[in-house]
């Protein structure tokens, strides 16, 4: 109970920190970086549900991110639609496409699934890149409007954008938390651990996999739509495989299959990258080997490593406690025996 309370406190402190962050820094550039990091986190959570909890490594995640971003951009600039209507539609478009692709791709497993989604990701990227009349090709789309007003609230300043993204991030975390701690979440983990076994005990694996795939693409689309209206211009690069690898790096470093992993990994890497700005294009010289080493030695990343460490310490304490209890019991027995004799 004390542990839970502590955990709850940490989360509360983090949320409060996130809320007061803009006032602490007062630096628009830092707010910009943080907002961007939050957007990535939303995308990483989507990837985490699928790859971390269900065990299906999708390499098309950037593709869905791009679909969300382009849907919003096209609906607002070319169709002149109301922002929030376009926002909702963008999410629906991404999810529906996710469902169609999921229906087909989830028939494959393991390596085939990874390769299949890799190819799907490429197709999405190439279509965006080549479909000049719709997507603007390599030039991309410009003039995407900022999020529309909700009543009296406007989203023109960096701070207001920051809060909007934070709001969506908190909802994302809450939803993922609820999913992971529900029977559905357990079902996903069961599928990850052994799909055959899950099927044997009566789980409809296809239905569950499809559901998690759609949820995952939904979050990718949400992140994409937020990205489009935050950066205000987009190019086909956001659908390229390197974005998927970036998201995967955040996830692995933070901890795949853990709730806090996406937050820890993304914020850590985004800030470290910020500090190592002179590296820019070469940052993968550091993060690439880290990714590989983590998978070998700490496959569950920082968060998972911490959880394991705490579990081990607890076990040790428990063992010690048991030992002391035993010693006490045996001491009592001997004293009782000596009393009898005496």
Partner 1 sequence: MDVLIQQLFNGLTLGSVYSLVALGLTLVYGILHIPNFAHGALYMVGGYITLTMMTQAGLNYWIAIVVSCLVVGGLAVLMERLVFHPLRHAPAIHDKIAAIGIMLFLEALVQFIWGAEYQTMVSPYGQVVNVAGVTLTMQRLLIIVATVVVMIILYIFLKKTFTGATIIAMSQNRDGANLVGINTNRVAMLTFLVSGALAAIAVSLSAPINLVFPGMGHLVLTKAFVIIILGGMGSIPGAIVGGYILGFTEALGATYISNDYKDVIAFVILVLILTIKPNGLFAAKGGH
By CB under 8 A, name the binding residues for partner 1.
51, 55, 57, 104-105, 107-112, 114-116, 118-120, 122-123, 126-127, 130, 241, 245, 248-249, 252, 281-285, 287-293, 295-296, 299
Of residues 299 and 336, the one with the C-beta less far from partner 1: 299
Least distance from partner 1 to the Cβ atom of residue 42, Å: 21
What residues contact residue 49 under an 8 Å CB cut-off, 6+ apart? 176, 179, 180, 188, 212, 215, 216, 219
Nearer to partner 1, 132 or 333 (CB): 132
B/e letters for 305-319, b = 16+ CB within 10 Å, e = fewer, are bbbeeeeeeeeeeee
Residue pair 90/74 in contact by the 8 Å Cβ criterion: no
CA distances from 28 to 16, 144, 156, 233 (A): 19, 20, 13, 19
Give the nearer residue to partner 1 in terms of CB position, either 13 or 293: 293
CB of 205 vs partner 1, minimal distance in Å: 14
User: In the bound complex, what is the minimum distance in angstroms from residue 99's beta carbon to partner 1?
Assistant: 15
Tell me how far, at minimum, the Cβ of 311 lies from partner 1, in Å. Answer: 19
Q: Which residue number, 289 or 314, has a Cβ lying nearer to partner 1? A: 289
Largest CA distance in the chain: 102
CA distances from 278 to 11, 34, 109, 275, 285 (A): 33, 19, 41, 8, 13
Residue 45 and residue 49: Cα distance in Å, rounded? Answer: 6
Give the residue with the Cβ less far from partner 1, 109 or 313: 109
Residues in Cβ contact with 157 at an 8 Å cutoff, skipping those fewer than 6 apart: none
Helices (H), 239-297: 241-254, 261-275, 284-297
Least distance in Å: CB of 216 to partner 1? 15
Count CA atoms closer than 13 A to 83's CA, side-chain side.
Answer: 16
Other CB atoms within a 10 A radius of the CB of residue 3 amount to 9
Q: Containing H/E element for 181? A: none
Nearer to partner 1, 22 or 265 (CB): 265
CA angle 156, 235, 230 (to 5 degrees): 15
Q: Which residue, 211 or 248, is less far from partner 1 as judged by CB?
A: 248
Q: Which residue lies nearer to partner 1 by CB, 138 or 323?
A: 138
């Amino acid at each position: 109970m004390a542990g839970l309370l502590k955990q709850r406190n940490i989360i509360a402190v983090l949320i409060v920190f996130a809320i007061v962050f803009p006032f602490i820094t007062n630096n628009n550039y830092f707010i910009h970086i943080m907002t961007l990091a939050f957007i990535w986190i939303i995308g990483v959570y989507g990837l985490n549900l699928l790859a971390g909890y269900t065990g299906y490594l999708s390499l098309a995640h950037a593709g869905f991110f791009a679909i969300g971003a382009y849907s919003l951009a096209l609906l607002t600039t070319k169709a002149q639609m109301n922002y929030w209507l376009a926002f909702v539609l963008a999410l629906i478009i991404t999810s529906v496409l996710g469902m169609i692709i999921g229906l087909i791709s989830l028939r494959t497993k393991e390596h085939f699934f990874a390769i299949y989604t890799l190819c799907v990701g490429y197709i999405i990227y190439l279509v965006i890149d080549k479909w000049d009349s719709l997507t603007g090709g390599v030039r991309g789309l410009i003039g995407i409007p900022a999020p529309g007003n909700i009543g009296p609230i406007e989203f023109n300043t960096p701070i207001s954008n920051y809060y909007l993204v934070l709001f969506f991030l908190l909802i994302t975390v809450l939803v993922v938390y609820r999913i992971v701690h529900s029977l559905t979440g357990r079902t996903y983990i069961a599928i990850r651990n052994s799909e055959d076994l899950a099927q044997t005990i009566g789980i409809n694996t296809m239905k569950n996999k499809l559901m998690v795939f759609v949820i995952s693409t939904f979050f990718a689309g949400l992140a994409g739509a937020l990205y489009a209206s935050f950066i205000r211009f987009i190019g086909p690069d956001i659908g390229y495989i390197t974005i998927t690898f970036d998201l995967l790096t955040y996830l692995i470093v933070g901890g795949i299959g853990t709730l806090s992993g996406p937050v820890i990994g993304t914020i850590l890497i985004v800030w470290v990258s910020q500090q190592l700005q002179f590296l820019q294009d070469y940052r993968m010289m550091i993060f690439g080997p880290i990714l590989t080493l983590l998978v070998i030695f700490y496959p569950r990343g920082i968060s998972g490593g911490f959880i394991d460490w705490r579990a081990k310490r607890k076990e040790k304490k428990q063992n010690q406690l048991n030992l002391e209890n035993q010693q006490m019991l045996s001491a009592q027995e001997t004293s009782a025996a000596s009393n009898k004799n005496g």
